Amino acid sequence: MIPKGILIDCACIFLGGNLGAALKQAVPKKILDPMNVIFGLSAIAIGILSLIKLSFLPAVILALILGGLIGELLDLETLVKNLFHRLITRFRFSIQGDREAYLQFYLIVAVTFCASGANIFGAITEGMSGDMTVLLSKAVMDIFAATIFGATLGRAMNLILPLQLAILCAFFYGGQFLMPLVTQEMLNDFMAAGGLLTIVLGLNIAKIKQTSAVNLLPALVIVWPASWLFSLFF
């Protein structure tokens, strides 16, 4: 089975990101800042919609706490940031302005496209049933978001695409094997955990509150067994 929804979403991000990079000098900052706020608020709205689908709130909270602790102890943000910095340097993409601020925003954009709840849920759904409605809906927003983000990050944004394709395809093909093992409650709680992560990303994009989204990524793994354990007792 070909992951058509994933390929369409990646293509939209590729087109939007490179269009934004090409228009980088033509887009004034007074437009970029409000648009980032709008996309941040949109991410928060998507996260809230995902969050209300949860089945076991204690499982989601436990996953978030344990995931955050693991992420902080491993300092995942620094590890991923250093990785992207090496890649950007290796491929000779230029970083304009404050390097730390650039890399911080780069990380937020990378997690938004690679590990948001909507993207992963869409990949799993398409893998299980062939329904790519979620990914097509996400692609419509992503092409505009990528254009705005590309105007800030430049063509270095293209380095995110192989990682996004690999992660979403893993969930797409893994979804076919997970189907007999995953209950609807586990899927709901995964969506809720992804929704919380998406809310954190939205707060970062809109510059309302800066919190490490990368360090919360382990929660997306922990929520599966946590939800299963709670389903045994409730």
DSSP string, 93-125: ----S-HHHHHHHHHHHHHHHHH-HHHHHHHHH
Range of the structural domain that residue 211 is part of = 4-24+32-233
How far is 150 from 127, CA to CA, in rounded Å? Answer: 29
Provide, rounded to the nearest whole percent, the portion of the chain with pLDDT above 90: 55
Structure tokens at 47: 């996260």
Q: What is the dihedral of CA 40, 41, 43, 46, to 10 degrees?
A: 180
Whole-angstrom distance, CA of residue 194 vs CA of residue 47: 7
- Specify whether the CB–CB gap between 213 and 111 falls below 8 A: yes
User: Of the candidates 194, 17, 209, which has an alpha carbon nearest to the alpha carbon of residue 112?
Assistant: 194
For residue 28, the 8-state DSSP code is -
Number of domains in the chain: 1
* Sign, Cα dihedral of 84, 26, 203, 227: negative
- pLDDT at residue 23, as a whole number: 86
Between helices 117-129 and 29-51, what is the axis angle to 10°? 50
Q: Please say if the pLDDT value at position 53 is more than 90.
A: no
Interval 128-178: pLDDT, tens: 888 888 899 889 989 999 999 999 899 999 999 999 999 999 989 887 777
Distance CA 123, CA 135 (A): 7
The pLDDT of 50-56, averaged and rounded, is 89
Gap between the Cα atoms of 115 and 67, Å rounded: 14
**pLDDT, tens digit, 9 for 90 and up, residues 177-209:** 777 788 889 989 998 999 999 999 999 998 898
- What H or E segment, with its residue span, contains residue 143? helix 133-153
Q: pLDDT per residue over 75-100, tens digit each?
A: 999 999 999 999 998 888 878 778 88
